[in-house]
Every structure is written in C-alpha cells, then in structure tokens.
Amino acid sequence: MRLCTPATATFPLAAAAALLLTPTPAQAAPAAPTCATPDTRTFPLTTRIHGGPDAYEIGGGYGTWYLDLTNTTDRTCENIHPVVVLTDKKHALEPDQPQLEFYEGKRPHPVRFETTDEDELVGVFRQSLTVAPGKTRTVKVRLALTSDAVPNEVTANAAVVQRREDDGDWVGQSNDYRFAVATEDTAPPPTDADTDAGTADALPEALPDAEEAAELAHTGPSTPARLLAAALLLSTGGTLLLARRR
C-alpha cells in the first residue's frame, strides 16, 4: 500500500484507512493508472463531507449527508473507495450500531464497520467509484443509530483509496464531521430535507455472507501527527482487517 501523504497535512487521531483487494489469479485485472504522483504535496482528490444534521436520535430515522470527491488532476481516478472512520468520545460505539449506506444513483449500499484497537470504527465503501478529470462526484450517504446506542459525541472522517490490483494509493482525506448521538428528549430533529423516516432497528440485514476476521497490529515509530492506517483485504474467503500506525 502506498500512502501518498502530503507533507503539510494534519490528520485527526483516526486519520485514514486504505483498501486492498486481493483477487484470485483468475479475477486479476490490469491495474488502473494511478491518479496520484510520487512527489505531490497534495492529494489528487479533494474530499469534503457536508450537509449532515448536528444530532442523530438513538433508534430514530436516517440523517443524510454528502461526500464530495473532486478530481484536481488531468487523469481519470478509477477504482476509488472512500473509507469512513467514526471516533466517539465515550469509546462506546459498537460496530453494529451505526447503520450507514451510500448511494450509486438511487441504489443504496450498506457499509459494514469493524473496530480498531483505538476503539474507532472503520467502514469501507466496497463498490468502486470513478471521478473524471477536473470533475466533482457527490456521493449521498445516510446514517442512523440503533436503539442500543448511548448518548455520545462522534466525529466522522473519510479517507479515500484508489485500488490497484493487490495494492492501493491513499488519494484523499476529508474534513471532520462532528455530531451528537442523543435520546428523543434531547436530540433536535435532523435538519436535512432528505432525511428518511423509520427506525434503525427496522433496517434489513444486508451484510456480506463471507466470514469476517479481524487482526490488529502496530508497526513503526509514533509521530506527532499520529496516523492510523487500516487496510481491509477482501477475498472470496473473508475479510482481514489490519490496523497500523505511522
């Protein structure tokens, strides 16, 4: 995995995640050209979260927000996978409590979360995206919290990875989106006009059938700008989650 990190970037504690897909030889395809350059000091994809509500009601309906991916290069960015990192103040958020989906057109895709050794949740957009040169692609995302979540404060951050065969380039990093998780008595209604009705507990199960396994490890020296890089390796046999800090 190549982390194309700008030298001047500043990251939150849960800063980034990288997606590596390991196909079998029969599934392998030629690597798409990278939209990153080795000596760049900025990410090729400018990434921005916007439009989300300030609070989500525990067991309440969906709140909608948007992820903008702007390709600042003259190259097409293919095989793009955003990765959402959730950090909660109480370290109490469980992987099955955030119910997150992203849209390709009108079709929603569920995002499954895994826990890192820093009690952060990492969820990868498994369906790849393409962003044309000089264009912005806006991805609709919606989030709800199940009724067993507790009042909390959460920060959402998105890293962006370009898959390249069995490797990947880290090509984008979003701003922080902070929101409260509150009970019905204390939570203001979601402000987005596109908020969906219904409860998170009523969501259908839409997770991959393959068995999932998680393995966590630390490597490398720590630095003032602590960087957590999580890699999800997806294969026909299951999922392996690796966490490492630079």
Per-residue pLDDT at 241 exceeds 60: no
Residue 108's identity, in one-letter code, is P
Over residues 20-44, the pLDDT tens digits come to 443 434 444 456 678 876 666 789 9
CATH architecture of the domain formed by 2-25+39-240? Sandwich (2.60)
**Quick one: pLDDT at residue 40?**
63
Looking at per-residue confidence, does 183 or 113 come out higher?
113
7 has a pLDDT exceeding 50: no
Of 1-10, 27-36, 122-131, the range with the highest mean pLDDT is 122-131
Question: What is the overall mean pLDDT for the chain?
Answer: 73
Q: According to the 3-state scheme, what is the secondary structure of the chain? A: CEECCCCCCCCCCCCEEEEEECCCCCCCCCCCCCCCCCCCCCCCEEEEEECCCCEEEECCCCEEEEEEEEECCCCCEEEEEEEEEEEECCCCCCCCCEEEEEEECCEEEEECEEECCCCCEEEECCCCEEECCCCEEEEEEEEEECCCCCCEEEEEEEEEEEEECCEEEEEEECCCEEEEEECCCCCCCCCCCCCCCCCHHHCCCCCCCCCEEECCCCCCCCCCCCCEEEEEEEECCEEEEEEEEC
pLDDT of residue 187: 62
Mean pLDDT of 120-139: 96
Residue 213 has pLDDT above 70, yes or no: no
Share of the chain above pLDDT 70, in %: 60
Pick from 100-109, 161-170, 175-184, 225-234: least confident: 225-234
pTM above 0.75, yes or no: no
Q: Give domain limits for the chain.
A: 2-25+39-240
The predicted pLDDT at position 175 comes to 97
58-74 per-position pLDDT tens digit: 999 999 999 999 999 99
